[in-house]
Amino acid sequence: MEENNKGTRSSKYEKKSKKKVVLIISIVLLFLALLLFFLYYFFGGNFLEISKEGNDDVVEVIVFDDSVEVPNVTCKFFGKKVSKNELKMIKNIDVTKLGNQEIEYECKKSFFKKTISIKYNVVDKEAPVMEIDSQDNVSIYVGDEYKEPSVKATDNYDGDITDKIEKSGEVDNKKEGTYEITYSVKDSSSNESSKTIKVEVKSRPVVQSNNSGGGTGRSSNMSCGEAGVIYLTFDDGPNNLYTPVILDVLSKYGVKATFFVTSSGSDDLIVREHNDGHAVGIHTSTHAYNVVYSSDEAFWNDMNIVKERIERLTGVSPTLMRFPGGSSNTVSRHYSAGIMSRLANQIEEKGYGYFDWNISSGDAGGTTDPTQEYYNVVNNLSKSRGNVILMHDIKYHTSQAIDSIVKYGIDNGYTFDVLNTSIICHQAISN
Ligand SMILES: [Zn+2]
């Protein structure tokens, strides 16, 4: 019995110690697992190192600039560089969007993982572009309406920002002076563009009641064309300096004129005269009296050079003609007796119309003063007949007088037209 009892006790003891061993092993394993976990959690990263070249500053990138330089990123596992496919970019920046962004790299080696990011700031430093349909300096006469130019603004990032344009300054068209109007616009990154237009409001020359200025002597009371119509005519051009100024004024008021051209000036100006709706007529090539009036044949040779020039540039065969010095000139007598009578007949036989004038602006010698030229014209205008005005677009003072002359005509109820072959405006031939 005793033996038996002993045996039972010892097997009980064995069972107990087996349990103890299992428990100890479990605790040791758990401890080892925890140790490994702590080692990985706190030090694991140090086995894997990721780094980049350069400092930690935010890199500035210009918006839409694709040539972003990415710093060299390296990843090492236990001091040894990992292979290329273990290091990769997982996040890139979008250069089409402004603001702070990051490029992110991830390095993966077995169950270790590390990331690094590079900070960028995408900025817009380009100012918007403003387009203003106006010259920098504009001048108007007191009382004239100042027409605001059309303004447009586009930005490389924001696109059309015309609605963000701010205007400062006003023009008082009732008061003489120089006014400044400034247009400015800012894009969403506060880049600014601005432009200033200077507007000069000038006093308009006043018509003097008793004017005895030069050049009016050649104006006459004969009728030329329809009553109340002004036929502006410009001889001797085109002139590269003054014809464009005159054309600008005519188009500003929307009035048409007749240009009697020679071989001078730029071809483009004749094209523009035609395209602007003006009439282009012949005034001979050389305009030299000793050439064109030396013989009938010499006249026609000279005249045809300009005829062909006009045809070549406008595609239209000219039918309007003005004799150098007018049909009543006496200078031609020195070169060929009776030539004006002969040429006037020949011209009409060939289907051309020739035109003199009943108002001389005096710009070819009577005056070089735009104000005087203005009086010479407006003081001789009449509503009861047509008004063919002799001017020269080769004269600076005419380019300065034309605005006031046209303005006066419009304000006083005249209309403007080009000459045509049904109009007769002939002075008395005296050779
Ligand atoms: Zn002439």
Neighbours of 193 (CB within 10 A): 18
Quote the ligand 1 centre to 287 CA distance (angstroms).
7
CA-CA distance, 96 to 257, in Å (whole number)?
Answer: 54
For the chain, the helix, strand and coil percentages under 3-state DSSP, each to the nearest 5: 30, 25, 40
Res 205: pLDDT? 53
SS (H, E, C) 271-311: HHHHHCCCEEEECCCCCCHHHHCCCHHHHHHHHHHHHHHHH
Quote the ligand 1 centre to 66 CA distance (angstroms).
64
Q: How far is CA 141 from CA 144, 254, 370, 401, 407, in A?
A: 5, 17, 14, 12, 10
118 and 135 in a single domain? The answer is: no
Residue 55 token pair = 């400092």
Answer whether residue 428 is part of any domain: no
Give the tens place of pLDDT for each residue, 193-232. Answer: 999 999 988 876 544 333 332 233 367 778 899 999 999 9
61 and 91 in a single domain? The answer is: yes
> Ligand 1 is a single-atom ion; what residues have CB below 5 A from it?
235-236, 324
259 and 193 in a single domain? The answer is: no
Which of 123, 139, 162 is the endpoint of a domain?
123
Res 218: pLDDT? 62
The rounded radius of gyration (Å) of the Cα atoms in the chain is 46
Give the tens place of pLDDT for each residue, 117-173. Answer: 999 999 999 999 999 988 888 888 777 778 889 999 999 999 999 999 999 999 998
Nearest in space to 401 (alpha carbons), one of 352, 353, 366: 366
- CATH code for the domain of 325: 3.20.20.370
Quote the ligand 1 centre to 382 CA distance (angstroms).
24
Phi-psi map region of 104: left, alpha, beta (phi>0 left; psi -120 to 50 alpha):
beta
- CATH code for the domain of 146: 2.60.40.10
Quote the ligand 1 centre to 350 CA distance (angstroms).
22
Nearest in space to 92 (alpha carbons), one of 74, 66, 111, 113: 66
Residue 163 token pair = 């609605």
Give the tens place of pLDDT for each residue, 18-44. Answer: 889 999 999 999 999 988 887 776 665
119 and 133 in a single domain? The answer is: no
> Under 8 Å CB-to-CB from 241, ≥6 apart: which residues?
396, 399
Whether the bond into 370 is cis, omega within 30 of 0: no
Dihedral (Cα; 335, 336, 341, 346), 10-degree rounding: -100
Q: How far is CA 232 from CA 41, 208, 229, in A?
A: 97, 22, 10
Quote the ligand 1 centre to 315 CA distance (angstroms).
24
Tell me the H-state helices in 39-122.
44-47
Quote the ligand 1 centre to 284 CA distance (angstroms).
9
Quote the ligand 1 centre to 30 CA distance (angstroms).
117
Quote the ligand 1 centre to 383 CA distance (angstroms).
27
Quote the ligand 1 centre to 130 CA distance (angstroms).
44
Answer whether residue 8 is part of any domain: no
Sign of the four-CA dihedral 312, 314, 315, 318: negative
239 and 365 in a single domain? The answer is: yes
246 and 104 in a single domain? The answer is: no
179 and 108 in a single domain? The answer is: no
Quote the ligand 1 centre to 222 CA distance (angstroms).
21
- Residue 152 is part of which domain span? 129-202
Res 214: pLDDT? 29
Q: Are strands 73-77 and 48-52 parallel, antiparallel or unpaired?
A: antiparallel
Answer whether residue 149 is part of any domain: yes
Strand ranges, E, within 294-423: 320-321, 353-354, 359-360, 387-392, 415-416
Run of H or E residues at 234 = strand 229-235
Quote the ligand 1 centre to 396 CA distance (angstroms).
15
Which of 180, 202, 224 is the endpoint of a domain?
202
Quote the ligand 1 centre to 7 CA distance (angstroms).
151
> Under 8 Å CB-to-CB from 282, ≥6 apart: which residues?
260, 261, 303, 306, 307, 310, 318, 320, 321, 322, 352
Quote the ligand 1 centre to 323 CA distance (angstroms).
7
Query: What's the total number of domains in the chain?
Result: 3
Quote the ligand 1 centre to 286 CA distance (angstroms).
10
Quote the ligand 1 centre to 61 CA distance (angstroms).
65
298 and 320 in a single domain? The answer is: yes
Quote the ligand 1 centre to 309 CA distance (angstroms).
17
194 and 232 in a single domain? The answer is: no
Contact 420, 351 (CB under 8 A): no
Nearest in space to 408 (alpha carbons), one of 362, 376, 360: 376
Answer whether residue 21 is part of any domain: no
pTM score: 0.53
Residue with tokens 């107990």, as numbered in its chain? 16
Answer whether residue 86 is part of any domain: yes
Quote the ligand 1 centre to 280 CA distance (angstroms).
14
309 and 335 in a single domain? The answer is: yes
Quote the ligand 1 centre to 324 CA distance (angstroms).
5
For the chain, list residues with pLDDT below 50: 1-2, 206-217
Answer whether residue 70 is part of any domain: yes
Quote the ligand 1 centre to 430 CA distance (angstroms).
18
Quote the ligand 1 centre to 194 CA distance (angstroms).
46
Q: How far is CA 8 from CA 19, 20, 242, in A?
A: 17, 19, 135
CA-CA distance, 373 to 233, in Å (whole number)?
Answer: 14
Beta-bridge partner residues of 355? 425
Which of 202, 234, 267 is the endpoint of a domain?
202
Answer whether residue 274 is part of any domain: yes
Quote the ligand 1 centre to 213 CA distance (angstroms).
21
Q: For the stretch 208-223, what's the b/e string if a residue is b when 16 or more beta carbons lie within 10 angstroms of its beta carbon?
A: eeeeebbbbebbbebb
66 and 191 in a single domain? The answer is: no
Q: Are strands 87-91 and 99-109 parallel, antiparallel or unpaired?
A: antiparallel
Residue 107 token pair = 């390095």
Answer whether residue 425 is part of any domain: no
Q: 277-280: list long-range contacts, CB under 8 Å, 24+ apart.
A: 277/418, 278/247, 278/250, 278/418, 279/320, 279/418, 279/419, 279/420, 280/310, 280/314, 280/316, 280/318, 280/320
163 and 242 in a single domain? The answer is: no
Res 7: pLDDT? 56
